[in-house]
Structure 1
Amino acid sequence: MSTFKELGLNQDLINAINDLGFETPSEVQQKAIPTLLSEDRDLVALAQTGTGKTAAFGFPMLQNINIKSRTTQGLILSPTRELCLQITNELKLYGKYCKGLNVVAIYGGASITEQAKQVKKGAQIIVATPGRMKDMISRNMVDISKIEYSVLDEADEMLNMGFHEDITDILSHTPHDKSTWLFSATMPKEVASIARNFMYDPIEITVGNRNESTSQVSHEYYLVNGRDRYLALKRLADANPDIFSVVFCRTKRDTQKIAEKLIEDGYSAGALHGDLSQNQRDLVMKSFRNKQIQMLVATDVAARGIDVDDITHVINYQLPDEIETYTHRSGRTGRAGKTGVSMVIVAKSEVRKIKSIERIIKKSFEKKDIPSGMEICEVQLMSLANKMHNTEINHEIDAFLESINELFVDTSKNELIKKFFSVEFSRFYDYYKNAKDLTVSDTKESGGRESSGDETRYFINVGRKDGYDWMSLKDFLKEVLELGRDDVFKVDVKDSFSFFNTDKSIEKKVLDFFTDFKYNGRFVNVEITENKGGGRRRDKGGRGRRRNDDKRSRRRSSDSGKRGDRRSRRSSSPKSDRRRSGSGSDRPRRSRRK
């Protein structure tokens, strides 16, 4: 079916579609709309973010409900306030010719009494976040006992955010004979569980393969040393002068820190994470949509619900903990028929994750080198030349041409061009002319690190009983010591103690930091050990030596508290603001981009 009219939509909706400029329905719309119009059936639709899912369930719901009734007939649950408002606004646009239609958004961070008033006026459709919806149900502010249609939009994201219990409770207040439509980008076991428990014999439609990335997005990865991750980020930005991107970090702290460093270095950047107030989030998103922010640094949770069609790049500053989350990240670009690029900055220990992601998204990554300084200079120079060539002439300067011509009367055309471009170009050239190569070889991709022979092995008195595995302990050490991810390696976690390695050059820093270091009321003891280490695998032929060394380590672990009591006590936190000297900046300060 090549047109919306052929899908079976009525004239009111067709008129709105024409006003919006929609021409050809997307694949998920072609599959879902005729089915939902012709049958009162439950449906599971698997499709990537940005493929037109809102219209796929919005048009059938608008056509099926009774506009003349003031009873709530449709409920749409979405994971975030931003997505809730976006769906509400789109439904209002789709139903602009449906006289009497009332669509109400229910979400946190706004007046609950005002939202209740809007519902009581007669809301045929409610779009809500799970938390606020559950709250209003418990206060008897909303009645969903007679709804005919329920939609779980971005179901996998809602469950990842911990809304399983809320969704279960909300759906328990709805009729058993309603139609439930579940839309999701991926199909983890939690989503399958919802489908089994709350849906009867659902029709399943899939756009592409499950978890597969859209064909509009290309995938690249850049291999660097952990300590050069931020420098690599800036070079990727400089190599793409017109970048309009979302940069993903794993933690709120890293998100804020990276955004602040980018702003300090002259980029138009902003942070989006859970510690921001709702007003701050709104201001950041407004600036991003208006392209006053070119690089939005965000956590996965905060970025859910971002619906901006013109994002050119997604940059994975750090890979997510859950590999499936990468699908959602890359789905922020390549939307509405446009192409996009998903970039990943990785250290050697993370290359194996790239292989895992490739298997899930069924797409191959292209390994690329971080651009050199001279490559960036060339790109920036040609970008400036193109902007200059395409700039419309402002004839208001005509009155000053005579004075300007007198100033350059003895300057040739070539000299004038060189002078003009040198104003902007010299800053980049002076900065990048001696810039080091950030790309590293990937000759070893086992997740370990080649031994330099000049490294130190440490014992630390925390282990699995303290809630650590090798990855979380590595993250903890990296954070408290302010090190790059590759600076801590060969992490080996036991029940009550662990081992790890660093280069010998930072041995003093490690030992000094953990002198009288206290965490959660307990002293964390770090000592140099004779155990040379071998990563998480056992050393071949070395079981006896490792066993003896482990016994000595257990004694040190049990004695560490006694030794700590004799120390001068000083309480610290693993998230203390200890700072390294120098920022490792790879770029001169510059005026912010307009």
Structure 2
Amino acid sequence: MNTFQDLGLNEDLLRAITDLGFEKPSEVQDKAIPILLESETDLVALAQTGTGKTAAFGFPMLHKIDVNSRTTQGLILSPTRELCLQITNEMKLYGKYCKGLNVVAVYGGSSITDQARDIKKGAQIIVATPGRMKDMINRRLVDISKIEYAVLDEADEMLNMGFKEDITDILSFTPKEKNTWLFSATMPREVAAIAKNFMRSPQEITVGNKNESTSQVSHEYYLVNSRDRYDALKRLADANPDIFSVVFCRTKNDTQKVAERLIEDGYSAGALHGDLSQNQRDLVMKSFRNNQIQMLVATDVAARGIDVDDITHVINYQLPDEIETYTHRSGRTGRAGKTGVSMVIVSKSEVRKIKSIERIINKAFEKKDIPNGMAICEVQLMSLANKIHHTEVNHEIDKYLTSINELFEDTSKDELIKKFFSVEFSRFFNYYQKSKNLNVSEGDVRDRDSGRDGGRDFGGSADSTRYFINVGSKDGFDWMQLKDFLKEVLELGRDDVFKVEVKDSFSFFNTENELKDKILAFFTDYKHNGRFVNVEVSENRGGGGRRNDRRGGGRSSGGGERRGGGERRSSSRSDSGSRGDRRSGSGGDFKSNGSSPNRSARRSGGDTKTSDSGASRPRRSRR
């Protein structure tokens, strides 16, 4: 492999490289930089996140632009504000000795007037998010008609976020004879289409195989019931005392809720999602980079700006909707030559997705068990012992030794050690001693045909309940909208509702059996847009027949009313009681956290929390 001196970079850049402590170029840098320096060409580079792509296009662009000119010569498009700012800061560091260099970040959430003013001062390079860049072009606040180099960074993610039209419009304002450099972790069809439509005979480089995960990351999955997902997350954190992780959720709502629950349970956690202001996001990321946050709960979009080399674990609290997104998630760890672990918490209905991901990333997952309480107690005890063993002595304590020795003069060494470690061990022991086994056997997983709803078919199965609901496409629902509606009103996880089938005036959906009472109770006298929403159990669980939109006439012999296609709903919503009786006591306040019945009881003692078993859980010490 070449050194940076061998690549042909100018002296100003080599001085900056020395200051930054870079010793040898990464594989993508070693392949891309010579090509971009030696020829005027378009380039498609496929490489995982964390492999040094910014330097791979940044150094050649800085080498080629004229810093004595005030004309904008380079444009870098990136998917998020965080990544835009990160690239801008890195470009400034790379070009610290390039006198007269001006790199300007253009992104939403900040003053567009200030950004336009900075560009007018003479910005040779603009780093921008597509939405804000298009806005500035439309307002005629920026001129990119003379750029020589255009970079599409994280191209696959920009397209996943719906920026295809914006990118197309932006590139239409650039000269045809420019060089376009496309960098991406994966190569879906949409990215290939961009390369075909906007690039001229591009050279291609690939680090590893297309869409393949880095060899520095190991992949594990843990099979639990949906209701135990959060408790599984806590145990994985407790089993790894030195964890420094990103926890991925699908939605902003789930991200905020999981982060809040972790904080309530004593973990050093924070949320990162699109509903936060730019200032809030900056504060969260600053805390994370300073190791003040051990568990950063994030959406896929917000996490695009995370560039931290020391992340030990990526935890997929929920699998992404797009399998390719998993590659981006796992790329948050195992960076800069370090190893990392990507963990996935899955329910029984999601196991098939693991096989699909394995094919995409060309890596095998290892199925592991959620550790039991005593195993966690042992890990925590030995972690404390190691920290004490390696702690440097503060000799300011010497003047208190006489008093301390007098206190413990009748205590043996072994007894003193036991007392000392019991302070921490007892708290974890009391919390976990009656904890249940969260693991689900692989043999419990039913073989389901793949379908549009996350790999599930549309029939029933022994471990789930199928429901009839009297809303359908006439009420403005498609299958995804109905799924989101149920998830929102019931405060369920996205994976808790599946096998959704929407008809004209009614629909069907499934949940795990344990959620049945909650769902039937919630939809007693529930109104949506001024009319009652009725949910009842569908008696036909096979689901093999053809369904139509017509309701069957008359009653079945079993007392249930027939639905189109052989589905039959139960004539009774519960074992006994009227609508009013069944509603009483619930207050309509249903939470799907599986924890103790009231928060005040959980918080008794001030310094403890309650686990899934109802015991008190110790607050974790901050990093």
Same fold (TM over 0.5): yes
Deviates more, 1:463-472 or 1:432-441: 463-472
* Distance verdict in 2 for CA 1:520–1:329, change over 3 Å: farther
**Which residue of structure 1 aligns with residue 447 of structure 2?**
446
Cα distance per residue 1:476-529 (max 9 Å; x no partner): 445433456786666555454333456777655433322332334554222344
Tell me which of 539, 542, 560 is aligned to 1:534.
542
CA distance in 1, matches of 2:471, 2:442: 32
What letter corresponds to residue 462 of structure 1 in structure 2?
V
**Which residue of structure 2 aligns with residue 315 of structure 1?**
315
**Which residue of structure 1 aligns with residue 422 of structure 2?**
422
**Which residue of structure 2 aligns with residue 186 of structure 1?**
186
Following superposition, the deviation at residue 289 of structure 1 comes to: 0.8
Following superposition, the deviation at residue 403 of structure 1 comes to: 0.5
* Distance verdict in 2 for CA 1:340–1:467, change over 3 Å: farther
* Distance verdict in 2 for CA 1:21–1:142, change over 3 Å: same
Question: Is 1:259 the equivalent of 2:259?
Answer: yes
Deviates more, 1:372-381 or 1:501-510: 501-510
Deviates more, 1:82-91 or 1:108-117: 108-117
CA contact (8 A) 1:313 1:341 kept: yes
Tell me which of 585, 588, 592 is aligned to 2:617.
588
CA distance in 2, matches of 1:592, 1:56: 40
Over the matched positions of the two proteins, sequence identity in percent amounts to: 78
CA contact (8 A) 2:431 2:618 kept: no
CA distance in 2, matches of 1:134, 1:489: 39
CA distance in 2, matches of 1:501, 1:125: 53
**Which residue of structure 1 aligns with residue 602 of structure 2?**
none
**Which residue of structure 2 aligns with residue 552 of structure 1?**
562
**Which residue of structure 2 aligns with residue 347 of structure 1?**
347
CA contact (8 A) 1:490 1:534 kept: no
**Which residue of structure 2 aligns with residue 216 of structure 1?**
216
CA contact (8 A) 2:239 2:371 kept: yes
| 1:390-409 mapped onto 2 (5 Å cutoff) | 390-409=390-409
Following superposition, the deviation at residue 297 of structure 1 comes to: 0.6
**Which residue of structure 2 aligns with residue 571 of structure 1?**
none
CA distance in 2, matches of 1:157, 1:451: 39
What letter corresponds to residue 312 of structure 2 in structure 1?
T
* Distance verdict in 2 for CA 1:344–1:119, change over 3 Å: same
CA distance in 2, matches of 1:332, 1:240: 18
**Which residue of structure 1 aligns with residue 205 of structure 2?**
205
CA contact (8 A) 1:50 1:332 kept: yes
* Distance verdict in 2 for CA 1:591–1:373, change over 3 Å: closer
**Which residue of structure 2 aligns with residue 271 of structure 1?**
271
CA distance in 1, matches of 2:146, 2:466: 66
CA distance in 1, matches of 2:52, 2:475: 46
How much is the aligned-residue C-alpha RMSD, in angstroms? 2.9
Cα distance per residue 1:378-399 (max 9 Å; x no partner): 1000100000001000000111
CA contact (8 A) 1:459 1:498 kept: yes
What letter corresponds to residue 451 of structure 1 in structure 2?
A
Cα distance per residue 1:248-270 (max 9 Å; x no partner): 11111111111111000000001
**Which residue of structure 1 aligns with residue 468 of structure 2?**
459
CA distance in 1, matches of 2:169, 2:252: 30
CA contact (8 A) 2:80 2:129 kept: yes
CA contact (8 A) 1:49 1:328 kept: yes
CA contact (8 A) 2:545 2:565 kept: no
Following superposition, the deviation at residue 467 of structure 1 comes to: 6.7
CA distance in 2, matches of 1:332, 1:301: 13
CA contact (8 A) 1:219 1:365 kept: yes
| 1:375-394 mapped onto 2 (5 Å cutoff) | 375-394=375-394
Deviates more, 1:83-92 or 1:129-138: 129-138
Tell me which of 559, 568, 579 is aligned to 2:591.
579
CA distance in 2, matches of 1:495, 1:212: 42
Following superposition, the deviation at residue 71 of structure 1 comes to: 1.0
**Which residue of structure 1 aligns with residue 521 of structure 2?**
512
**Which residue of structure 2 aligns with residue 103 of structure 1?**
103
Cα distance per residue 1:269-289 (max 9 Å; x no partner): 011111111111111111111
CA distance in 2, matches of 1:305, 1:508: 42
Deviates more, 1:517-526 or 1:499-508: 499-508
CA contact (8 A) 2:552 2:563 kept: no
Following superposition, the deviation at residue 191 of structure 1 comes to: 1.3
Following superposition, the deviation at residue 223 of structure 1 comes to: 0.1
* Distance verdict in 2 for CA 1:224–1:473, change over 3 Å: farther
| 1:32-43 mapped onto 2 (5 Å cutoff) | 32-43=32-43
CA distance in 2, matches of 1:422, 1:71: 68
CA distance in 2, matches of 1:6, 1:381: 51
* Distance verdict in 2 for CA 1:492–1:70, change over 3 Å: closer
**Which residue of structure 2 aligns with residue 573 of structure 1?**
none
Deviates more, 1:210-219 or 1:112-121: 112-121
Following superposition, the deviation at residue 103 of structure 1 comes to: 1.1
CA distance in 1, matches of 2:170, 2:211: 27
Cα distance per residue 1:38-71 (max 9 Å; x no partner): 1111111111110000000001001111121111
Following superposition, the deviation at residue 583 of structure 1 comes to: 2.7
TM-score, with structure 1 as normaliser: 0.90
CA distance in 2, matches of 1:130, 1:9: 30
What letter corresponds to residue 322 of structure 1 in structure 2?
E
**Which residue of structure 1 aligns with residue 574 of structure 2?**
none
| 1:59-208 mapped onto 2 (5 Å cutoff) | 59-208=59-208
CA contact (8 A) 1:499 1:533 kept: no
CA contact (8 A) 1:227 1:483 kept: no
Deviates more, 1:479-488 or 1:154-163: 479-488
Following superposition, the deviation at residue 462 of structure 1 comes to: 3.2
Q: Secondary structure at the match of 1:343?
A: strand
Consecutive unaligned residues of structure 1, counting only runs of 5 or more, are 558-566, 569-575
CA distance in 2, matches of 1:471, 1:441: 29
Cα distance per residue 1:386-431 (max 9 Å; x no partner): 0000100000011100000000101111111111111111100111
CA distance in 1, matches of 2:212, 2:439: 29
CA contact (8 A) 1:148 1:179 kept: yes
